[in-house]
Structure 1
Amino acid sequence: MARDIPDDGSMDGLRAAATAQFETARAMPPGVYTSDSFLALEMEHIFGQEWFCVGRSSALSEPGDYLTCDLAGQPVMVLRDNDGQLRAQSNVCLHRMSTLLQGRGHARRIVCPYHAWTYNLDGSLRGAPAMSRNSGFCKDNYRLPQVRCEEWLGWVFVSLNPEAAPVADALSALEEMIAGYDMARYTESFFEEHVWDTNWKVLAENFMESYHLPVCHAGTIGGLSKLDEMICPPGHAAFNYHTILKDESLRIACAHPSNDRLQGDERRMTYLIAIYPSLLITLTPGYFWYLSLLPKGPGQVHIRFGGGMSDDFAGDADAAENFTRLKTLLDEVNVEDRGCTEKVYRGLSSPLAQAGHLSHLERPNYDFARYLLSRVEAGQDAA
């Protein structure tokens, strides 16, 4: 049963923010971030229905490689099966309902840590100790429920919604836009998981605008970020983006000499892409990094953080040194972003917090508000 629209004012505030003309628009109101009832709507109508990115397919290169996540209350495992196919399925044992796999790793088979019921990689039950005296038990009747799973340009998405439209259909315009970057050939070199004390939307919006770069990132990339070179076009139904031009002194952010796919300013153009609801990608001609976000209550967010270099740079003698410098820079930027976004959440949780008008450089934030409203209202209408 669908949840009722919360009566704490958060929906009315979101509706006002999302339906205003952009030229007069304000940021989303505090209740959209702090309300337990609004988060419940997000879990039901967004994370329970949309595609969620669990990471890069290169992390699941061999049969038995797996990763896990909890999506809208459902533990999910994603793995490469013995046929070489990516597969997502319930991560809950069909006996006494323990979770099965944890984190990321490699397994030849799936063994329940509670009673050792054992499953094949395709989810079929392989064996169950001490069950021969139960006349109703038949091993062939047990198979882990399957979950939608698709790959797009090296990204792995899962959805609990069996009727979700294919990922590639929703992102065809984006795929055409960034074709010259050949994103499928970017290799993930690191992956980490973090929990920050802020709302998931605060962190998502922080990524969606570069207005804050000269201030929040004054110690790192702020000096290389020029507000007058930031382009923030209207968003699309499934994503928004903006672009900035990187200084050519940051060589690993620019196209490799061997790259003949990008021309002119494209060779130093960075795309900051927000794929709804919560995959955030910084894509430069030389490297990429990403955040994939899941809420842990209104005031905490679980972050899947990864990245690496374009394969164009793989053969360079200084490739390892370049990556080390990149990772050091990204860690420093993350420290700055964590400080900023946790301050924002503390501020918007205060009784006197008020949402101000948006800059023209915050167009993606406006489009994000419109996306949130459309999904929550559509879910209510369907109910």
Structure 2
Amino acid sequence: MTKHVNPTTELAENVATPFENAQAMPVSAYTSEDFLALEQSEIFAKSWLCAGRADSLKEPGDYVTIEISGEPIIVLRDRQGELRALSNVCRHRMSVLLEGRGNVRTITCPYHAWTYSLDGSLRGAPAMEKNGSFCKQDTKLPAIRCEEWQGWIMVTLDADLPSVAETLSDVDGLVGYLNMGDYVETFREEHRWDTNWKILAENFMESYHLPMCHSGTIGGATKLQDMVCPEGFASFNYHHILKDDSVPLALAHPSNTVLEGDQRRRTWLLAIYPSLMITLTPGYFWYLSLLPDGPGGVKILYGGGLSPEFMNDPKAEEHFGALKKLLDHVNDEDRGCTERVWKGLQSKFAKPGPLSHLERPNYEFATWISKMVSAK
């Protein structure tokens, strides 16, 4: 008889080992439907999640839609210019209201034309005057917590979670000198890959894979012996790389007189738990915001942009066109590597191996996940 494996227990035992003797996460932590359900309820429903950059919603009525732990949500810019998040479910017969992204003057249900203002209040409901229980003033789309932090739109279903600024204060302490909130998004795309969300998150967190996985792009410039992975913080892990001038946008613009020394060429890789991955340089940034789509699928919000100095550079479009081409190529390489890991996890011979000292962020990530799902 096959022994039943409890993924939560198996992961807890896995991370109880000191980092110096650590192993990769157990197979069940990636493949188990039950474990994913725990992640949805104990991690994604109780964390700050990224819906993109605030400057992607510039005008009143600009909106995007996301789904957190099965909950459809609208994030929009209201008539007063404030960011809001609202339930994306009609208060009548519970149809989803909006899809994708766009701009609306009002939110109109595609089923029975109930119409809501951008603050979620009900504007109109056809043919409801004969129902004595109907009260227009009492009918409103529920508000979801939404905060802007350093230019990011952050959303949570948890009414009691500390603010983003408090939760991520250590990020500000580490990279605040770059004024991330001033960077301007120049592209935003949505993708779905056939791999577990944690596999892609872990892939971002370590640069151990760069020489091989990215041999066609950035791998040749990587020196494993020079890499350092410091201990992370409670809400994120990180590592950083000093870049040369092979990608000019990775360096501070010549007009920037504030940054000094290595600040002008340091690239930061920030993995903000659970699923916001940011590469931040003095000249540009790019990011991945991840949501699980079953154990073997991940929905990806992929975007990036420029620092203010490069936005004002006459050759900014030319520079970023070349960089975007490189980033897309790097992403294609990552897709191949992470989807192969998911395929390998299906093998009866799949078994986690020991972690390199360059994979400390992966160990810290696994420890954080175990703590979150065990706290129930």
Instruction: Give the structure-1-normalised TM-score.
Output: 0.96
Partners of 1:224 and 1:246 within 8 A in 2: no
Q: Report whether the alignment pairs 1:332 with 2:305.
A: no
Write out per-residue CA displacement over residues 222-243 of structure 1, whole angstroms, 9 at most, x where no aligned residue.
1222223322111111111011
Aligned counterparts of 1:223 and 1:258: Cα–Cα separation in 2: 30
Equivalent residue for 2:29, pick from 11, 21, 32: 32
Partners of 1:63 and 1:83 within 8 A in 2: yes
Matches within 5 A, 1:210-249: 210-249=207-246
Equivalent residue for 2:51, pick from 43, 54, 60: 54
Matches within 5 A, 1:148-227: 148-227=145-224
Q: Report whether the alignment pairs 1:93 with 2:73.
A: no
Matches within 5 A, 1:248-267: 248-267=245-264
RMSD: 1.2
Q: Displacement of 1:260 after TM fit?
A: 2.9
Aligned counterparts of 1:47 and 1:146: Cα–Cα separation in 2: 18
SS in structure 1 opposite 2:320?
A: helix
Partners of 1:150 and 1:167 within 8 A in 2: yes
Write out per-residue CA displacement over residues 166-216 of structure 1, whole angstroms, 9 at most, x where no aligned residue.
111011111121122111111111111001000000000000001101110
Q: Which runs of 5+ in 2 are unaligned?
A: none
CA separation of 1:209/1:200 partners in 2, compared to 1, >3 Å: closer, same or farther?
same
Write out per-residue CA displacement over residues 39-76 of structure 1, whole angstroms, 9 at most, x where no aligned residue.
01000100111111110000111111111101001000
Partners of 1:225 and 1:244 within 8 A in 2: no
Aligned residues: 374
Q: Displacement of 1:7 after TM fit?
A: 5.4
Matches within 5 A, 1:96-111: 96-111=93-108
Q: Displacement of 1:374 after TM fit?
A: 0.9
Partners of 1:230 and 1:245 within 8 A in 2: no
Partners of 2:8 and 2:374 within 8 A in 1: no
Aligned counterparts of 1:97 and 1:9: Cα–Cα separation in 2: 36
* Range 227-236 or range 342-351, more displaced: 227-236
Aligned counterparts of 1:191 and 1:87: Cα–Cα separation in 2: 20
Aligned counterparts of 2:227 and 2:181: Cα–Cα separation in 1: 25
Aligned counterparts of 2:317 and 2:147: Cα–Cα separation in 1: 31
Identity of aligned residues (%): 59
SS in structure 1 opposite 2:317?
A: helix
Instruction: Give the structure-2-normalised TM-score.
Output: 0.97
